[in-house]
A and B are shown apart, each in its own frame.
Chain A
Amino acid sequence: MKTMTKLAIATAFLAACEGGSTVLLNGAGATFPNLIYQQWIITYNQMTDGVELNYQSIGSGGGIRQFTDGTVDFAASDAPMSEQELAAVNGNVIHVPTVLGAVVPTYNLEGVTERVRFTPEVLADIFLGKITKWNDARIASVNAGVSLPGTDIVVVHRSDGSGTTFIWTEYLSKVSGEWKSRVGTGKSVNWPVGLGGRGNEGVTATVRQTPGAIGYVELGYALLNNLPAGHVRNRAGNFIEPTIESVTAAAAGAMDEMGPDTDFRVSLTDPAGANAYPIASFTWLLIRREYEDAAKADALLDFIWWALTEGDEKAPELGYAPIPGQLTPWIADRMETITVAGESVWQRPASAVE
């Protein structure tokens, strides 16, 4: 028995040593896309030999820090790197959008079965504390046929720093001048009113337990938990239900503004497009323009290409919206510019060239 165990250990050890040819790729960053990244990594590690990926969801800020320090091969972030952060890596970074996230208003109104509609101005004024009753004329005027109660509105926001808050406040800053000047955009902000809940689950629990509450959560979380999600009026003037499709439409709507030479560091909130849900955002993988190890760079780019073209089928069931297909050639263009010692390392597969 003992020898058997020893043998097993020895075999495992040998296998690990053979791994000298295994390419190890470490990444760290955003928590929001963690679910789908882990899913991708498990699937990809199983279907390919010689590549071992590893991703730790330590938060976007932590990911960018480790990327800047050079301790990880790639990072992930819910917010694009700022000019200051770009300068810290001498611009040696490419933002690759992977999936889309969206933030939805959710509420607790007993007896209201219809989905409540919100205009951007109403959302901003609720979160500024200027609209305090559910039966306020400005809410009622866009919700004909919904019997809104006269209860107080209790605002619930995230108490932890979060990319979700960043998207939400960026949207409110775009649609409300007062929000922009009084509160601004950030992962944590100085909320004019409201209670803080920790994480999507904390916000949800507080909203559920508080009559008259309104909060904001990630679309995926709302879908998985069947939360009532408000419809929001987009720039085209349509009230849009937050769904996987309407979020993908937001990215498609924003493509005209991006143009093929984009660095993908674009904001998708309040986009053009008749069916675009207006509170959406890319989440990005951060990779380097120049790598030192060709094997690593090649393996990483193969993985990303697989994730964008095949792995993204998994996205909707996990609550993420895939990026629009028209965007992948632009991303491939950018990936082909990545070099090791001045030489390009990766070409898109022949099947992808039209």
Chain B
Amino acid sequence: MAQRRPEALISRATDSAGDIIFQGILTAFAAVIPLLLLGLLVQLAISAWPTIEAFGLEFLVSTTWDPVADIYGAAPMIFGTVFSSLLALILAVPLALGVAIYLTEFSPPWLRTPISTLVELLAAIPSVVYGLWGIFVLIPLLRAYVVPPLQATLGWTPFFSGTFQGNSMIAAAIILAIMILPYISSVSREVLLAVPNSQREAALALGATRWEAVWTAVLPYGKAGIVGAVVLGLGRALGETMAVTMVIGNRHDLSLSVLEPGYTMAATLANEFQELSSAFHRAALFEIGLLLFVVTILVNAAARLLVWRVARGSSAGSRAL
């Protein structure tokens, strides 16, 4: 689909003053964004300097967060941010892909628009409404029907140990999964729609069932785009604040158990910024902001690398065939 760049046209254009000015303005515009990003990073680092200087790497591994004694460690929040987002992906990706595949490959045409519209509507619901739903509907449901069997069967694993008090990592992960589902499914759907029909026809002509055609011909073709969709969802999960803080329990603990409460970096910022205990507390929150920034950039960079690798793989042709 790549369009050829109109190099010929560019070289033919005369270098009029207007063109040069135009190019200069556009370059300035383009430079604004990276500069803004850099400025943000520098500003965060300057504001966070007191705690960076005082705690160093200890800040990343310590689990103590004590504004009274002015001792700060962000390990539970860093862990909670990444853990809750990954759990959300585990829950959301199969569901979102299922929706996308059903809509593009299996659903009757008249059903496509209503279903995809409904799924996309999920993205329009305000975060705080998800939080309320989490407190008043999801957590009681989990308490009554989901957690007891989980504890009975998988309670021996570290992931389902401990006591369930309601607000917990699992509640946050489920809410996050629902929130990122529309992003992943609608982008994946667009990607699958862009897969040329010849792919499907070729697979079917070779005697594949419809399922085999999807699995061996359609999905591999769209792999890069689907990974991109997942990254988009992950980015959103990492930064989500309100709904998460309402159901995650806001507890500075490191636990692998999804039944125990946790904390995220975004939730800490939202909770503690308004009423600070000290200037040092402020610096610690800025460092959390800096870390959230860095973690988001790292995750996105890793995902971008993944997309490149996957794209290289699939451009070589559908290996499955």
Residues on A with beta carbons closer than 8 Å to the beta carbon of B65: 190
Q: Which of A6-14, A192-200, A330-338 contacts B (4 or more CB under 8 A)?
A: A192-200
- Residues of B with C-beta under 8 A to A62: 274
Q: B201 at interface (Cβ–Cβ under 8 A)?
A: no
- Per the CB 8 Å criterion, the residue count for chain A at the interface is 32
The answer for the CA separation of A155 and B271 in the assembled complex, in Å, is: 18
A209–B250 CB distance below 8 A: no
Binding site for A on B (CB under 8 A): 64-69, 132, 135-136, 139-140, 163, 165-167, 245-246, 249-252, 261, 263, 267, 270-277, 281
On whether the beta carbons of A61 and B275 are closer than 8 Å, the reply is: yes
Told that A159-B250, A189-B66, A205-B136 touch, could you supply 8 new A-B pairs with CB distance under 8 A?
A59-B275, A183-B68, A184-B69, A187-B277, A190-B67, A190-B69, A196-B249, A209-B136
B272 proximity list for chain A (CB < 8 A) = 160-161, 188
Check B163 against A152 for contact (C-beta < 8 Å). Answer: yes
Partner of A209, one of B64, B135, B252: B135
Chain B residues in 8 Å Cβ range of A196: 249-251, 261, 263, 271
**A189, B252: Cα distance in complex, Å:** 11
A60 interface hit (Cβ, 8 Å) = yes
Indicate whether A186 reaches chain B with its CB closer than 8 angstroms. Answer: yes
Contact A60 B275 (CB under 8 A): yes
Q: Are B68 and A161 in contact (CB under 8 A)?
A: no
* Interface of B (DSSP majority class): loop
Q: Can you spell out 30 A-B residue pairs with CB atoms less than 8 angstroms apart? A: A31-B274, A58-B274, A59-B275, A152-B163, A159-B250, A160-B270, A161-B67, A161-B273, A161-B275, A183-B68, A185-B68, A186-B277, A187-B67, A187-B277, A188-B67, A188-B277, A189-B66, A190-B65, A190-B69, A190-B252, A194-B251, A195-B166, A195-B167, A195-B261, A196-B250, A196-B261, A206-B135, A209-B136, A209-B139, A210-B165
Chain A residues within 8 Å of B276, by CB: 61, 161, 187
Give per-residue flags for A151-195: 1 if the beta carbon is below 8 A from chain B beta carbons, else 0: 010100001111100000000000000000001111111110011
Q: How far is the CA of A188 from the CA of B277 in the complex (A)?
A: 7
Whether B135 pairs with A161 at a CB distance below 8 angstroms is no
Residues of A contacting B250 in the complex (Cβ-Cβ under 8 angstroms)? 159, 195-198
Which among A61, A183, A191, A206 is the interface contact of B167 at CB below 8 angstroms? A206
Instruction: Provide the residues of chain A in CB contact with B261, threshold 8 Å.
Output: 195-196
A334 to B276, CA, bound (A): 29
B275 touches which one: A187, A197, A206, A210 (CB < 8 A)? A187
Chain B residues lying within 8 Å of A189, measured Cβ to Cβ, are: 66-68
Q: How far is the CA of A159 from the CA of B140 in the complex (A)?
A: 21
Which one, A61, A152, A160, A205, contacts B135 given CB within 8 A?
A205
Say if the beta carbon of A202 comes within 8 Å of chain B: yes
A62 to B275, CA, bound (A): 7
Whole-angstrom distance between the Cβ of B43 and the nearest chain A Cβ: 18
A159 contacts across to B, CB distance below 8 A: 245, 250, 267, 271
Proximity string of chain A (54-74) to chain B, C-beta cutoff 8 Å, 1 when within and 0 when not: 000011111000000000000
User: Separation in Å of the A187 CB from the closest CB of chain B?
Assistant: 5
Residue pair B275, A162 in contact (C-beta under 8 Å) = yes
Measured CB to CB, the closest approach of chain B to A110, in angstroms, equals 13
